[in-house]
Amino acid sequence: MISDQSLERITNAEKAKLFSIHWELRTVLYLGVLLLTGGLGILIYKNIDSIGHQVILAAIALLCAGCFIYCERKKLPFSFNKVQSPNTLFDYILLLGCLLLLTFLAYLQVQYNTFGDKYGLATFIPMVILFFCAYHFDHLGVLTMAIANLATWMGIAVTPLKIFTANNFADAQIIFAGLLLGVILVLMAHLSTIRKIKPHFCFTYLNFGMNILFVSTLAGMFHFDSFYLAWMIPLAALVFYFYRRALEISSFYFILMITLYSYTGISYVITRLLMHDHYELYMLVMLYFIASAVFMILFLIRMNKNIKNDDRLQRKVA
């Protein structure tokens, strides 16, 4: 339907179009940071007798200081709003500096027992430094590390792979510590939005807070067997709060997580009520799981469509 000349121009334009390798470069840089820190660890481990502890500590400290000096010189002026990175290397050099800082402090504690038996202090100091760096340099990755250190200081592992395996949720102390940590993170998210202090950090705080609160609440429901029904009250309150937040920020991810956590809690209660001294009702329980799974899938599909429609309307208005 078009002329040969137009086709040729379109073909040449498509052939000459630039191909973005943005994410490829960022992936290579991220892997480079991980390989460098991992390689340093292996080098230290294999040559610790010949190199000497002081030399190793001095090398880590110099490299760490060099990273922070570079970031301090290159960073853009501080703002309570989002600050763009001055260049691509900046984020990864800052990440390297923070990882080296943690390595340095851990080395001091393991080799020289610098903090003695005060293990809380050994995690509190890097936590404060990481929070400062996250806000000072406006870095979400460092903020995530700071939140992980805050959880470690409180005795909880919050990395995605360890939140279920590294924590003994059969211990009531861990459950209540998780609830407290989740509330603190949600409050931090609320304050960052209300006070306009790095409001783009809100999602990270909410993400950690939501998962920790729901996991801790479900763990309380499973652990305190004698009054498991009472845990439906905080579970319902969490579903209500995070559902409203999910609609405010148009996040299907939050809707998905809320649905899965609430479904787990409700299914546990229904199963307990139906199967308590009535094991012959197992067929009714099986029918419940089939029907509820279909309903949950339909609900998620509908919510996904609604969120997408809301996003389109917001773009049109904007």
Does the structure show a pLDDT above 90 at 214? yes
Instruction: Tell me what pLDDT residue 166 has.
Output: 58
Highest mean pLDDT, choosing among 7-21, 197-211, 297-311: 197-211
pTM for the complete prediction? 0.81
Least confident of 63-67, 212-216, 246-250: 246-250
Least confident of 25-29, 182-186, 190-194, 236-240: 25-29
Q: Which contacts (CB < 8 Å, 24+ apart) does range 182-191 have? A: 182/208, 182/209, 182/210, 182/212, 182/213, 182/216, 183/209, 183/213, 184/150, 184/209, 185/147, 185/209, 185/212, 186/210, 186/213, 186/241
DSSP secondary structure code for residue 76 in this structure: P
pLDDT confidence tier of residue 1, bands split at 50, 70 and 90: confident
Taking residues 165-179, what's their average pLDDT? 77
pLDDT confidence tier of residue 52, bands split at 50, 70 and 90: confident
Does the structure show a pLDDT above 60 at 318? no
Q: Give the SS3 label for residue 65.
A: helix
Instruction: Tell me what pLDDT residue 54 has.
Output: 82
230 Cβ neighbours under 8 A, 6+ residues apart? 224
Which spans in 195-281 are helix H? 202-223, 232-249, 252-275
Instruction: Tell me what pLDDT residue 106 has.
Output: 83
Instruction: Tell me what pLDDT residue 161 has.
Output: 53
Does the structure show a pLDDT above 90 at 185? yes
Mean per-residue pLDDT of the chain: 86
Highest mean pLDDT, choosing among 7-21, 53-67, 126-140: 126-140
Specify whether the CB–CB gap between 218 and 260 falls below 8 A: no
Does the structure show a pLDDT above 80 at 51? no
Q: Where are the domains of the chain?
A: 24-153
Specify whether the CB–CB gap between 140 and 161 falls below 8 A: no
Instruction: Tell me what pLDDT residue 162 has.
Output: 56
Instruction: Tell me what pLDDT residue 9 has.
Output: 85
Residue with more model confidence, 142 or 108: 142
Residue with more model confidence, 125 or 25: 125
Share of the chain above pLDDT 70, in %: 90
Distance CA 313, CA 253 (A): 20
Instruction: Tell me what pLDDT residue 288 has.
Output: 87
pLDDT digits (tens, 9 = 90+) for 259-301: 999 999 999 998 888 876 666 677 788 888 889 999 999 999 9
Specify whether the CB–CB gap between 153 and 194 falls below 8 A: no
Does the structure show a pLDDT above 60 at 46? yes
pLDDT digits (tens, 9 = 90+) for 112-155: 888 777 777 888 999 999 999 999 999 999 999 999 999 888 87
pLDDT confidence tier of residue 18, bands split at 50, 70 and 90: confident
